[in-house]
Amino acid sequence: MSRRLYLPRGRLQLLIERLSADGYRCIGPQAHAGAIVFRPLVSVDSLPKGLGDAQSPGRYRLEPSRGERLFAWANGPAALKPFTFPARETVWRVKRDAAGRLAFGETEQDAPPLAIIGVRACDLAALALHDRHFLEGAVPNPRYRRRRERLFLVAVNCSHPAATCFCRATGDGPGAESGFDLLLDELEDGYLVSVGSERGHAVAESLTLQTASDAQIAQAAEQLAEAAAAQQRRLPSRNLRDSLFSNLEHPRWTDVAERCLACGNCTAVCPTCFCHREVDEPALDGVGSEHLREWDSCFTRDHSYIHGFVVRAETRLRYRQWLTHKLGSWHEQLGRSGCVGCGRCITWCPAGIDMTEEAARIAGGGPP
Amino acid sequence: MNTEFPIPHEAVIVQRIEESPDIFTWRLRFTDPAVHAAYRFMPGQFNMLYLHGVGEVPISIVSDPEDDRLYDHTIRMVGRVTRAMAQLQSGDHIGVRGAYGNPWPVEQARGKDVIIATGGLGCAPVVSVINYVLRRREQYGRLVIMQGVRHSADLIWRDRYEQWARLPDTQVLLTADQSGPGWPFRTGLITRLIDEADIDAGNSVVMMCGPEGMMRAVIDDLIGRGVPEARLWLSMERNMQCGIGHCGHCQIGGQFVCKDGPVFAYPQVKELLGVKGF
């Protein structure tokens, strides 16, 4: 990160306009249906000014916050996942002619360039994990790649972590270190701007920004340190692979299964969960059929179905699969834990199950 | 494996063979001659077979890779897709993509005895390697085939086993947990066959498929007889939807059965083999 620049809040609209002029569809955080979510953004007036979020296990509320800040909140239910890995998409289609012959075709890969403003460090960490999963194997996913390549990311360092956040413990936040085009630190009157890519550099140049003062830089650093210090939750270790797999019969699995509804909310809001099912949707004319990919969850019964048998018929086994995968076998698959500390699975769990607590009980050597 | 992102190619059912009331074999050919000519597989790999409007299923390939005319799949009617597939006839068209997964260790086994142990109806994945060894008989040592079925009536391809049993350097041992009339073979668990099998522990490669409990029992027995763990190979089954390690259904701990398997060396799956829930 080289020279740091300063953008007064009154000129933030210029960033949106510049990105739009460059052909990006701008997306930004907005209060919608009681939560902060990413939606198409035309004006800074739509950003969540004077709003914060209060999060705790099983609870999310928007609350007024003092001042003019636009990013004085932690995160909403959706990270970047819906933009790069949509909940549902057609992967190929087929037509059957009168003679029963089949013609398979790919679907067109329409991915408009998106500029997403307000991305958090945890979201970037999750995106890097999906890049590894979908792009770095033997068979990269071209749809994911196309969407990913057309993404312009304006990250904002987290100044107001929620009570459910633990990105400091996973090493993924609250400050973003890479993976963005531009990075903002929100101060009382404006934004410290850091450049993270060539494209970001070009956009920053066009905004003719001032150089940030030493006082502004010091203020941003202090704010980030406070955001890290404010986080109370943690995991027993960054690598729980062995401690989880050596506790597969721990009584706590039964205990958590009594509370878990197996609803799959945690996997839907998790920015790294990648499981998806493939389904076919035949047209009523009997000619066409679409082969779709849609999000799946290891909390469903069908997830582990094989020829008349279900590997994980009980909730205990499904919760154990989720946690041992997320915090354990991800290390073997992708070289690190699958948890980025965003806390969404805690907030959006209708039963208020706190995975940091379950992990501590099962793998942390504490009392069951 | 093809590394382009997979969509199926059309294939035609050249022949449909009824193996039993609920098991059938398809002999297939890609309709595009260029696709057919470029298609490669090894014993132990699988294809994703697609039925129009219904869906896909992963099925192992049972034929020989050097038979460039046709490739075969033996399918048991058990779920939504395979029941619908059972209705198709010769001349009908399906979609096929593959071949996926890691094959049997036919290279490691070269020059050694090949021990096959299979249980239940899961014998299709090993039939491919049995045929592979028999076609290249001079490259391999003795061939020992141990097959256990739940009930003697479950055995398909009995004539094939009897034919194999007459070949030189080939031992065929069959057992049924429960046997009915006309069953000349053993009754009891497959591990009982190991005593009768002539196994040279230091010079054998073992290939297994079937229920995990059965494979676990065979493995424990063979390790006790001195077969090294790295010479024990298993074909595993899990829910597989994408075939390329993306969809997440087939995980056993850190392993994706579709791309890290379905054929595994025992040390790769040792920790979780037979652990309920994985």
From residue A151, give the alpha-carbon distance in Å to each of A23, A114, A134.
11, 5, 16
What percent of chain B lies above the pLDDT cut of 70?
98
* Contact flag B237-A307 (C-beta cutoff 8 Å): yes
A253 pLDDT band, cuts 50/70/90, is very high
| Closest chain B residue by Cα to residue A281 | B53
Beta carbons of A16 and A42 less than 8 angstroms apart: yes
* Contact flag A94-B6 (C-beta cutoff 8 Å): no
Find chain B residues with C-beta within 8 A of A109's C-beta: none
As a whole number of angstroms, the distance between CA A172 and CA A177 comes to 9
B207 - beta bridge partners? B116, B233
As a whole number of angstroms, the distance between CA A198 and CA B18 comes to 63
Q: B102 to chain A nearest CA, in Å?
A: 13
Q: Going along A213-260, which residue ranges are E strands?
A: none
Q: Which of B271, B261, B151, B169 is nearest to B207 (CA)?
A: B261
Among the ranges given (A38-42, A225-229, A307-311), the one the predictor scored with the smallest mean pLDDT: A307-311
Averaged pLDDT for residues A175-186: 97
| Residue in the structure block whose two tokens are 């002029």 | A21
| Closest chain B residue by Cα to residue A138 | B3
Start-to-end CA distance of chain B, whole Å, equals 26
Find chain B residues with C-beta within 8 A of A138's C-beta: 1, 3, 244-245, 259
User: To 10 degrees, what angle do helices A198-206 and A12-21 make?
Assistant: 120
* Contact flag A137-B244 (C-beta cutoff 8 Å): yes
pLDDT at residue number B68: 81
Beta carbons of B203 and B174 less than 8 angstroms apart: no
Q: B28 to chain A nearest CA, in Å?
A: 14
**Half-sphere exposure for B75 (CA within 13 Å, toward CB):** 30
**Paired sense of beta strands B204-209 and B232-235, if any:** parallel
Residue A256 has pLDDT above 80, yes or no: yes
pLDDT at residue number B148: 92
Find chain A residues with C-beta within 8 A of B249's C-beta: 275, 277, 296, 303-304
* Contact flag A137-B5 (C-beta cutoff 8 Å): no
User: Which tens digit of pLDDT belongs to each residue from B118-127?
Assistant: 987 657 889 8
B132 pLDDT band, cuts 50/70/90, is very high
* Contact flag A104-B94 (C-beta cutoff 8 Å): no
Cβ burial, residue A149 (10 Å; 0-12/13-18/19+): exposed
Averaged pLDDT for residues B80-92: 96
Averaged pLDDT for residues B140-150: 94
Which residues, other chains included, contact A308 with Cβ-Cβ below 8 Å and sequence gap of 6+?
B78, B79
pLDDT at residue number B122: 58
User: Which tens digit of pLDDT belongs to each residue from B177-196?
Assistant: 998 888 999 999 899 899 89
Q: A351 to chain B nearest CA, in Å?
A: 23
Beta carbons of A219 and A226 less than 8 angstroms apart: no
User: Which tens digit of pLDDT belongs to each residue from A322-346?
Assistant: 999 999 999 999 999 999 999 999 9
As a whole number of angstroms, the distance between CA B113 and CA B92 comes to 41
Residue B225 has pLDDT above 70, yes or no: yes
Find chain A residues with C-beta within 8 A of B242's C-beta: 276, 278
* Nearest CB to A307; choose among B6, B79, B94: B79
Q: Which amino acid is at B67?
A: D
Buried b (16+ CB within 10 A) or exposed e, A244-259: bbebbebebbeebbee
As a whole number of angstroms, the distance between CA A330 and CA A338 comes to 6
- Bond prior to A48 in cis (omega within 30° of 0): no
pLDDT at residue number B1: 40
* Mean pLDDT of the residues in chain A: 95
Q: Which of B52, B64, B42, B44 is nearest to B122 (CA)?
A: B44
pLDDT at residue number B234: 96
Size of interface A-B (CB pairs under 8 A): 135
Going B263 to B265 to B268 to B272, the CA torsion angle's sign is positive
As a whole number of angstroms, the distance between CA A206 and CA A200 comes to 10
Q: Which two tokens stand for residue B138?
A: 């001079």
Going A239 to A243 to A249 to A255, the CA torsion angle's sign is negative
* Contact flag B92-A100 (C-beta cutoff 8 Å): yes
**Half-sphere exposure for B102 (CA within 13 Å, toward CB):** 20
* Nearest CB to B56; choose among A278, A303, A321: A278
DSSP string, A252-290: HHHHHHHH-----HHHHH-SS---EEEEEEE-TTSSEEE
pLDDT at residue number B2: 43
* Contact flag A275-B249 (C-beta cutoff 8 Å): yes
A22 pLDDT band, cuts 50/70/90, is very high
A367 pLDDT band, cuts 50/70/90, is low
Q: B131 to chain A nearest CA, in Å?
A: 25
pLDDT at residue number A201: 96
As a whole number of angstroms, the distance between CA B260 and CA B100 comes to 10
From residue B1, give the alpha-carbon distance in Å to each of A144, B41, B254, B259.
21, 8, 21, 10
From residue A14, give the alpha-carbon distance in Å to each of A9, A11, A210, A350.
10, 5, 14, 40
- pTM of the shown model: 0.94
Residue A175 has pLDDT above 50, yes or no: yes
Among the ranges given (A307-316, B114-123, B190-199), the one the predictor scored with the smallest mean pLDDT: B114-123
As a whole number of angstroms, the distance between CA B8 and CA B259 comes to 18
Find chain A residues with C-beta within 8 A of B244's C-beta: 137-139
Find chain B residues with C-beta within 8 A of A321's C-beta: 251, 277-278
As a whole number of angstroms, the distance between CA B111 and CA B109 comes to 6
* Contact flag B94-A305 (C-beta cutoff 8 Å): no
**Paired sense of beta strands A305-306 and B55-60, if any:** unpaired
Find chain B residues with C-beta within 8 A of A134's C-beta: 246
Averaged pLDDT for residues B235-248: 96
DSSP code, position A327: I
